[in-house]
Structure 1
């Protein structure tokens, strides 16, 4: 739901960066891989050690690469099918690393219920993306949803960042909000696919 607004709001900032990176010889695919590596490293190294604020700052910085690679593709004038698949794959890896690391931190520090929320966020995130990909593969177009990647990043990283600043209650509250929203989004996605199929059947009786 936030994807359209977030990307349009920051395009004026990231587009010049994308053009500059192209000029120095980087490709969108390289930036995608760098961003993913940074997110994974920040999550699996810092979160399990309890460095929530540092991990949040590192991950947030590298999450921005997800916007920059798109800006580079626009500046170049084209994307590639491989780039689309690579970007989606790396997004899933990054999501898994972030919420897996949060879950590990929670379980190893006695925050079991918060860890369960993190696992729900992890699993539902993969399912939400999988449903969208499968719908696309069978030509059943669907629109936006309640909790997409932008919402996951926003709520998850706000939770860890605030917890790192000492507001420990923020992490369970925001993770459970995200977990419920994500589970609802799985249902929403399936309903969208069914509605798309029904429209397709009505258009081609």
Structure 2
């Protein structure tokens, strides 16, 4: 949903930056890899150590790189098939690292097994949401939309960790249980969308 409502506003900020980076000789693929590497290292270094606020700041910074690679591709006039696959692959790696690190924090520093379960559900459901879309598109079907697309998942998770890091009690707990429920709903939404798309095409 955020992708629909915020894309135009975000593009007004990121497109000039993307064009500037292209003029400096950088490629969208390089920015994708740097952003993913920073997200993975930041999440796996800070969250398991209980440094939630600093980790949130670092991860948020590198997550923003995900906006720039698309802006750079537009500045170059086109993307490439390899760039699209690389971007999608790196998104899955970053998501896995982020939710894996949060899961570790739940089980070890926080010592909350049930919260760890919510984090694991969120992690698995996030990967399934993306897989359903990819598998459907490979079969010529549509599976877009849903309550918890990647932007919403990342935002809600980082708001929870950031507020918890600032001392707001139960912020991660609220965020993760909301994510667990909403991501499972989104999996169902996407499967239903694929079902209807298949019926319309007679498959």
Q: Does 1:45 align with 2:32?
A: no
1:61 counterpart SS class: helix
Map of 1:82-121 to 2, 5 A cutoff? 82-109=82-109, 110-121=111-122
Aligned position for 2:135: 134
2:84 counterpart SS class: helix
| TM-score when normalising by structure 1 | 0.96
Contact 2:133 2:144 in 1 (8 A): no
Aligned position for 1:68: 68
- Note the C-alpha offset of 1:126: 0.4
Aligned position for 1:23: 23
Contact 1:52 1:163 in 2 (8 A): yes
- Note the C-alpha offset of 1:114: 1.3
Q: Does 1:177 align with 2:178?
A: yes
Contact 1:7 1:67 in 2 (8 A): no
Q: What is the rounded CA distance, in whole Å, between the counterparts of 2:161 and 2:146 in structure 1? A: 24
Aligned position for 2:158: 157
Contact 1:128 1:185 in 2 (8 A): yes
Aligned position for 1:7: 7
Aligned position for 2:35: 35
Q: What is the rounded CA distance, in whole Å, between the counterparts of 1:142 and 1:91 in structure 2? A: 18
2:78 counterpart SS class: coil
Contact 1:36 1:94 in 2 (8 A): yes
| TM-score when normalising by structure 2 | 0.97
Q: RMSD of the TM alignment (CA)?
A: 1.0
Q: What is the rounded CA distance, in whole Å, between the counterparts of 1:8 and 1:183 in structure 2? A: 28
- Note the C-alpha offset of 1:27: 0.2
Q: Which moved more, 1:28-37 or 1:143-152?
A: 143-152
2:202 counterpart SS class: helix
2:152 counterpart SS class: helix
Which ranges of structure 1 fall in alignment gaps of 5 or more residues?
none
Contact 2:48 2:105 in 1 (8 A): yes
Give per-residue Cα distances to partners, 1:84-130, cap 9 Å, x unaligned. 00000000000000000000011002121111111111100000000
Q: What is the rounded CA distance, in whole Å, between the counterparts of 1:33 and 1:189 in structure 2? A: 28
- Note the C-alpha offset of 1:7: 2.3
